[in-house]
Structure 1
């Protein structure tokens, strides 16, 4: 055993197998081959690489197999990085991809320090995020079911004279309409039943979220984020489920970069060229932030709904939320007046709104009795 060396181990993880490559220090990268995914297989791998050096560091790509392997290795005391696949360096013109090459590439990138780790949530946070994502998937299914029914009615030239916003009047009209053909009526009823089923599913999941959210360690931040205009319960809890512990970001610029809201850049010499946003990181959290930013196109005011969300919140949080309204509403009008497209202006507002979200989360963690950073 070489006590002064480190073994870098790259794992190309699949559902039923793991391809393993390693190097001792800066030595040649060697491929161990495939192993199984059972706990006994991981134990044998750890003993084998531990015999080569005193320090062992593992790495594998984030993917559909989740964080179970990371937690298993961390429990044994081994450092393990879960890296972002989209940020792994790739050689231009490289056209051959195999499991052996992927594992060896991870080893070289790990020892060179070229990999970007992803945030690994705790077991409790991941479980709550699964519930939030199930609610989001149900909402998306509901949207698609409504689109299918609208398309079916349009094909048969069935038009609603009012506003088709799925309000009570619109739903009553749909429930009272009938087709002359038995076959068309049967298809119509199935489309309607799908919508009702998805509505019931969304209601069940939202009820479960409201019941269980007070038990979550980030619930104080969920409450304070609702002081911001455009962020209600469902959007606040969706943001926190995806973002996790905001204290891991030392500066709001890190959060906006993680959300993919920073402009792309292609500069050379004295020439600096900015492009569209990078769209890196979590797409769902970015979508929620942009949707919230649209509310700042209207003049700043405290509506009755926002006033209800302010009840019981500390004055410092309410004042910060009002500062956000004054700044962001004014900035949106200024950008549009300068000729910016509303979509471009809203992205700029979303970027600044993320900074206010970071600041309010920081203020919440500093409140007396806060448990957001207890874990």
Structure 2
């Protein structure tokens, strides 16, 4: 690295891994000045010699936000790129994937003037998301444990209702009942499984307490939780995942980022729309859709403008499309509420754009 002067590097692409970072650096003319694998310590020492404001791009992956924060402390312009935006710039194509080609593709993708970058999360945001990730892991573990208990009981001819609450009510009694044919070792196994279930519930309760505390302490999360179909979990996940919604130019862009808009296969001026794209954050999109299901189910019990719209839409297009439509509407409302500093109003009537209104008025006359 001694032959490379700091001023000769204009842009850097980095392919991250656990112990080795592959670096691809170019100068202002786009000529490669460094293509080498560096250890983590040598990488940060080399970055310290780069000129202030030098662009250092990485794929958004595990540990990338930490690396970006550390590089920004060195006065570097650290940016993250989604992996699917990097693939088209790999010169060897899909069949030529390796660390060196990935680093070169990242460096090339970062040079595009219209490239979309992933905002770097703060340590506080990632801390809150850690609670959400643990909660989701506990949920999956609980489901697996309940299914395991049901399978063990079924081996001895004991089958109960599908609800977890129904199994919870009878499980302790089944373990203690001497009238069934459960052998002693099976009772001990089921007893340990029952205790594990209780422990998982306690861990999930702790996660819910931390999420509720986050919502109480964050004004943006409180505004988000006021929407129909958005509870504390969704509000906390939104603030922790997205942060500043002003990074999106408009509400439509935010809905598209979440993958709640139809996919397109249009050509020749003919629009052809398909299913939603399902891009972006899977966890946040799932929470929005789950909350929308609850709001749609209870829409007939409310008289506000949005609920009446849901009732009419459900009759016209069906249950599933109504749920997705509400999730998309909630995403757009969230953008408006959190960027314009306005409280949520379920009876809000949006203003008709003046230009479109004038065009329609002229057409009728």
Note whether the superposition's TM-score is higher than 0.5. Answer: yes
CA contact (8 A) 2:302 2:308 kept: no
Provide the TM-score with structure 1 as the length reference.
0.79
- The runs of at least 4 consecutive aligned structure 1 residues that moved more than 6 Å come to 1-6
The equivalent residue for 1:96 is: 96
- 1:352 equivalent to 2:329? Answer yes
Question: 2:26 aligns to what SS in structure 1?
Answer: strand
| Structure 2 segments unaligned to the other structure (5+ residues) | 176-180, 345-365
The equivalent residue for 2:60 is: 62
Per-residue deviation at 1:234?
2.4
Would the alpha carbon gap of residues 229 and 249 (structure 1) be closer, same or farther in structure 2, given more than 3 Å must change? same
The equivalent residue for 1:334 is: 316
The equivalent residue for 1:145 is: 145
CA contact (8 A) 1:6 1:55 kept: no
The equivalent residue for 1:28 is: 31
The equivalent residue for 1:109 is: 109
The equivalent residue for 1:294 is: 293
CA offset digits 1:120-174 (Å, max 9, x no partner): 12222222222232223223322322232233333443122xx54333x642211
Count of residue correspondences: 333
Question: 1:328 aligns to what SS in structure 2?
Answer: helix
The equivalent residue for 2:251 is: 252
The equivalent residue for 2:85 is: 87
Superposed, 1:214-233 pairs within 5 Å as 214-215=216-217, 219-233=218-232
Q: CA RMSD in A?
A: 2.9
The equivalent residue for 2:120 is: 120
Distance in 2 between residues matched to 1:365 and 1:124, nearest whole Å: 25
Per-residue deviation at 1:283?
0.2
| Structure 1 segments unaligned to the other structure (5+ residues) | 304-321, 337-341, 368-375
Distance in 1 between residues matched to 2:113 and 2:155, nearest whole Å: 57
The equivalent residue for 2:202 is: 200
CA contact (8 A) 1:331 1:349 kept: no
Per-residue deviation at 1:10?
0.7
CA contact (8 A) 1:260 1:281 kept: yes
Distance in 2 between residues matched to 1:268 and 1:239, nearest whole Å: 35
Distance in 2 between residues matched to 1:64 and 1:274, nearest whole Å: 33
CA offset digits 1:75-130 (Å, max 9, x no partner): 12111111101222426954112211111112222223364311212222222222
The equivalent residue for 1:268 is: 267
Would the alpha carbon gap of residues 227 and 27 (structure 1) be closer, same or farther in structure 2, given more than 3 Å must change? closer
Question: 2:141 aligns to what SS in structure 1?
Answer: helix
Per-residue deviation at 1:68?
1.9
Question: 1:9 aligns to what SS in structure 2?
Answer: strand
The equivalent residue for 2:182 is: 180
Pick from 314, 338, 343 the counterpart of residue 361 of structure 1: 338
Distance in 2 between residues matched to 1:192 and 1:101, nearest whole Å: 51
Would the alpha carbon gap of residues 363 and 56 (structure 1) be closer, same or farther in structure 2, given more than 3 Å must change? closer
RCO comparison, higher one (Cα < 8 Å, 6+): 1
CA contact (8 A) 1:16 1:37 kept: yes
Per-residue deviation at 1:366?
7.7
Question: 1:239 aligns to what SS in structure 2?
Answer: helix
Per-residue deviation at 1:213?
4.1
Distance in 1 between residues matched to 2:317 and 2:267, nearest whole Å: 27
Would the alpha carbon gap of residues 41 and 243 (structure 1) be closer, same or farther in structure 2, given more than 3 Å must change? closer
The equivalent residue for 2:44 is: 42
Per-residue deviation at 1:256?
0.9
CA offset digits 1:326-372 (Å, max 9, x no partner): 33333223212xxxxx33332223212222222333354689xxxxx
Distance in 1 between residues matched to 2:29 and 2:267, nearest whole Å: 33
Would the alpha carbon gap of residues 236 and 140 (structure 1) be closer, same or farther in structure 2, given more than 3 Å must change? farther
Distance in 1 between residues matched to 2:29 and 2:111, nearest whole Å: 8
Choose 88-97 or 29-38, whichever is displaced more: 88-97
